[in-house]
Amino acid sequence: MSSKRLGIKTIKYLSALVIAVSLVLMGCSAGDRSGVDTKEGVTSIIGVSQANMREEWRVALINELREAISSSLDIQIITSDATGDVDKQIRDIDNLIGYGIDLLIISPCDEKELADKIKEVYDSGIPVIVMDRAVEGFDYTLYIGPDNEVIGQQAGNFVGGLLSTDGGRVVEILGRPASIQGKERLLGFRKALDEYGNIETSKLYIESETKDAAYDITMQAKGTIAEADVIFSYSDSMALGVCDAVRELGLEDKVMVVDCDGFKGADEGIDLVKQGRLKATVSCPIGGKEAFDYALSILGNESGVPKQVILRSNLITAENLEESIERMNRQSNDDGRTIKVGYSQVGQESNWRLANTRSIESAAKKFNIDLHMEIADQSQQKQFDAIRKFIEEKVDVIVVSPVVETGWDEVLWEAKDAGIPVIMSDRNVSLEDPEEGLTTTYLGADFMEEGRRAMRWIRDNVPADGKKLKIMEIMGNEGASPTEERGKGFREILSENPSYYIAYSEHGDFTFEGGQKVVRDYLENNEWDIDIIFSHNDDMALGAISELKEHGYSPDKDAVIVSVDATRDAFEAMVRKELSCAVECNPIIGDQLMKAIRDLCGGKQMPFRIITDEKIYDQSVAEDYIHKRGY
Ligand code: GZL
């Protein structure tokens, strides 16, 4: 199998050349601070490009950042207001760079229109924190924002619960077209509502997602509104217009209004719930404090900065209003005491796992965590036993890296009943009712994206030359989230590339021997006619390589081999020209995990998900990186 592969190094070099040329042409050179009257002692400047300062949420973000920075004498922020204009936001970014900023925080007017500009700044070496609206791909340092589909689901579950007994009518107020976050919230709202029968929904469209437009449409649709039980709008500003109209129509005692945003300003979500005009609001977390904390870590070149932090949203009603306000204002008061943690680890099945365990053990010492780790040798029953043991020992926090996705509800209810929070580390679970708060947060990789990266690399580096190339897939253990999601992500890109197809797919359980067995079994029944091997982890890929050599075949020549994990053994195999490509899955999550545990015990609300930062490597860069690999 001959292939004229470009490799990652070549692609990187070409893109850096384009950036360098375009920056010179645009006269956008490295920053010059002469134009900024920096405070005495300022060592770093953070540029903040805000989409607009019209929406309360965005003003709140700037205020949170300013408040967070006020205690740091060596950091200065420069803010810009794009007034909702994409071209102006691009100019704002160039101006901020011109001031010599060390890090950019941006909340994009339009995540599609700004994606190239964000990538350009990121590729130029200036760290970029994207907030609120995630751009496609991963060409930024860190994304912090809400999960808008979950926000909609929380609202939908609440409305469904309100009407579940007698059924009812729900009116949605929505923009035409709806904003990106509006679309995601509506998707989640409808998904949740679909779980309930006997609820009729109708839609009222408005040209702009504003208070006045929502007021007008509600007044005009008096007949529909009078027949409704609930009106749903996905932002505070629209909800205020709806509430004003409902009051005007004298229907406040008949129609309930539910919305999203839950901001803290006058006549916004929290206030409208307090006034009794909103039945419920689902908060859209702002993340300014988190952005500042991570900005300090990034400027300090600290390891373990994640790729995405998906902030937690909360349902707020009159019943839980005081508690909600207290939680929103709570500062983390970590008193530094020793925290007792029970950790149920999957096993010792791979080098990745061993590196993961080492990372957790060393971080526990650094963060004053009394760690009790139980290794389950890939047995779910052993994990159940360990969790029950931790409950008996009354640990402060339980952490689980689950061997498979399902079957956890019962034991997690036992932990919840015992008042012990559970964090999912490395892998996640699929629960019968995710709303029950049985887990606190998920810290790990985006396995779907790892699978997509593997197939994108194949598409870009293994030309089919008019043939249909056969793929052998060596999968991890059945039911494990990395197995399921890497397979899904791979197939998502595969479906767009008909010159490749999966001809053979078997489980190797993430072990070296498992990889050997898959290849051995194939060769017992077939001549070797596979063009590409996609292995869900390095250990199985290395087992496959060993078996191919045993049978006289040349790895990378008789089959291109793509793996996930990117452990040191994988780099050595790439240097030997046996492994072709390794998609990184970072096991070094100990520091992030222990920081999350200390925040949790300090009273801070945990994000829904913390997604680790990962890259992709192939033979063209293996020599450059191998000495930097910590695992
Ligand atoms: C991924 C992790 C997987 C690794 C394997 O986060 O759970 O399990 O990819 C490991 O090497 O066995």
Asked if 75 and 102 touch (Cβ cutoff 8 Å), the reply is no
Return the number of other C-beta atoms located less than 10 Å from residue 346's C-beta: 28
Cα 482 to middle of ligand 1, angstroms:
7
Are residues 85 and 185 part of one domain?
Answer: no
Reported confidence tier of residue 28, pLDDT bands at 50, 70, 90: very low
Are residues 103 and 61 part of one domain?
Answer: yes
Cα 612 to middle of ligand 1, angstroms:
13
SS3 at position 367:
coil
Picking from 114, 140, 166, the residue at the C-terminal end of a domain is: 140
Are residues 496 and 385 part of one domain?
Answer: no
**From CA 106, how far away is CA 30, in angstroms rounded?**
19
pLDDT at 59: 85
Residue 511 counted as domain residue: yes
Q: Is the pLDDT of residue 618 over 70?
A: yes
Are residues 155 and 129 part of one domain?
Answer: no
Predicted TM-score (pTM) of the model is 0.85
Mutate to test the pocket of ligand 1, among 307, 348, 352 (most ligand atoms within 8 A of CB): 352
Q: Is the pLDDT of residue 29 over 60?
A: no
Sheet strands side by side (includes 128-131): 75-81, 44-50, 103-107, 128-131, 142-146, 308-311, 609-611, 441-444, 422-426, 397-400, 339-345, 369-375
SS3 at position 40:
coil
Cα 518 to middle of ligand 1, angstroms:
18
Q: What is the DSSP letter of 249?
A: T
Mutate to test the pocket of ligand 1, among 346, 351, 353, 357 (most ligand atoms within 8 A of CB): 353
Cα 528 to middle of ligand 1, angstroms:
28
Q: Is the pLDDT of residue 127 over 50?
A: yes
Mean pLDDT of 142-171: 94
pLDDT in tens, 522-540: 999 999 999 999 999 999 9
pLDDT at 261: 94
| Paired tokens of 237 | 């500003």
Ligand 1 binding pocket, CB closer than 6 Å: 349-350, 352-353, 426-427, 444-445, 482, 510, 537, 564-565, 585
Q: What is the DSSP letter of 607?
A: P
Mutate to test the pocket of ligand 1, among 350, 359, 564 (most ligand atoms within 8 A of CB): 350
For the CA of 352, the nearest atom of ligand 1? 11
Place of tokens 């870590």: 297
Are residues 355 and 395 part of one domain?
Answer: yes
**From CA 305, how far away is CA 3, in angstroms rounded?**
36
pLDDT in tens, 249-295: 999 999 999 999 999 889 999 999 999 999 999 999 888 988 998 99
**From CA 556, how far away is CA 545, in angstroms rounded?**
9
Percent of the chain residues past pLDDT 90, beyond the cut? 76
| Lowest-confidence region among 5-19, 111-125, 225-239, 253-267 | 5-19
Backbone Cα Rg of the chain: 26
Mean pLDDT of 603-609: 87
Residue 327 counted as domain residue: no
Cα 582 to middle of ligand 1, angstroms:
13
Q: Is the pLDDT of residue 21 over 80?
A: no
Cα 503 to middle of ligand 1, angstroms:
24
| Paired tokens of 295 | 């900005």
Cα 353 to middle of ligand 1, angstroms:
6
Cα 531 to middle of ligand 1, angstroms:
25
Q: How many domains does the chain have?
A: 4
For the CA of 539, the nearest atom of ligand 1? 11
Picking from 405, 439, 473, the residue at the C-terminal end of a domain is: 439
Asked if 286 and 65 touch (Cβ cutoff 8 Å), the reply is no
Q: Average per-residue pLDDT in the chain?
A: 91
Cα 537 to middle of ligand 1, angstroms:
7
Residue 467 counted as domain residue: yes
Which candidate, 525, 563, 527, places its Cα nearest to that of 544?
Answer: 563
Residue 612 counted as domain residue: no
Reported confidence tier of residue 2, pLDDT bands at 50, 70, 90: very low
Are residues 531 and 407 part of one domain?
Answer: no
For the CA of 445, the nearest atom of ligand 1? 6
Cα 453 to middle of ligand 1, angstroms:
16
Q: Is the pLDDT of residue 34 over 70?
A: no
| Paired tokens of 238 | 């629209």
Q: What is the dihedral of CA 333, 338, 344, 348, to 10 degrees?
A: 120
pLDDT in tens, 561-578: 999 999 999 999 999 999
pLDDT at 628: 81
Residue of higher predicted confidence among 112 and 402: 402
Residue 260 counted as domain residue: yes
Provide the CA 143 distance to its chain's centre, in angstroms: 8
Mean pLDDT of 39-43: 75
Are residues 168 and 136 part of one domain?
Answer: no
| Paired tokens of 350 | 């791979």
Are residues 456 and 357 part of one domain?
Answer: no
The helix (run of H) or strand (run of E) holding residue 317 is: strand 315-317
Mutate to test the pocket of ligand 1, among 428, 450, 537 (most ligand atoms within 8 A of CB): 537
**From CA 263, how far away is CA 284, in angstroms rounded?**
7
Picking from 100, 115, 140, the residue at the C-terminal end of a domain is: 140
Q: Show the domain range for 221.
A: 149-283
| Lowest-confidence region among 31-45, 89-103, 238-252 | 31-45
**From CA 133, how far away is CA 183, in angstroms rounded?**
12
Cα 23 to middle of ligand 1, angstroms:
40
**From CA 141, how far away is CA 129, in angstroms rounded?**
6
Mutate to test the pocket of ligand 1, among 510, 513, 568 (most ligand atoms within 8 A of CB): 510
Ligand 1: which residue has its CA nearest to atom 6? Answer: 426
Mutate to test the pocket of ligand 1, among 359, 585, 588, 614 (most ligand atoms within 8 A of CB): 585
Reported confidence tier of residue 597, pLDDT bands at 50, 70, 90: very high
Residue 315 counted as domain residue: no
**From CA 211, how far away is CA 192, in angstroms rounded?**
26
Place of tokens 């964000």: 118
Sheet strands side by side (includes 500-507): 500-507, 469-475, 532-535, 560-565, 581-584, 616-618
Cα 428 to middle of ligand 1, angstroms:
12
**From CA 532, how far away is CA 556, in angstroms rounded?**
9
Are residues 524 and 472 part of one domain?
Answer: yes
pLDDT at 13: 65
Residue 312 counted as domain residue: no
Q: What is the DSSP letter of 72?
A: -
pLDDT in tens, 328-385: 877 778 888 999 999 999 999 999 999 999 999 999 999 999 999 999 999 999 999 9
| Phi–psi pair at 397, nearest 5 degrees | -140, 145
Residue of higher predicted confidence among 604 and 426: 426
β partners of residue 441: 423
Residue 590 counted as domain residue: no
Ligand 1: which residue has its CA nearest to atom 3? Answer: 482
Mean pLDDT of 162-188: 93
Are residues 417 and 454 part of one domain?
Answer: no
For residue 364, give the CATH number of its domain: 3.40.50.2300
Are residues 160 and 278 part of one domain?
Answer: yes
Return the number of other C-beta atoms located less than 10 Å from residue 148's C-beta: 26
pLDDT at 71: 81
Mean pLDDT of 587-592: 90
Are residues 451 and 579 part of one domain?
Answer: yes
Percent of the chain residues past pLDDT 70, beyond the cut? 94
pLDDT at 616: 94
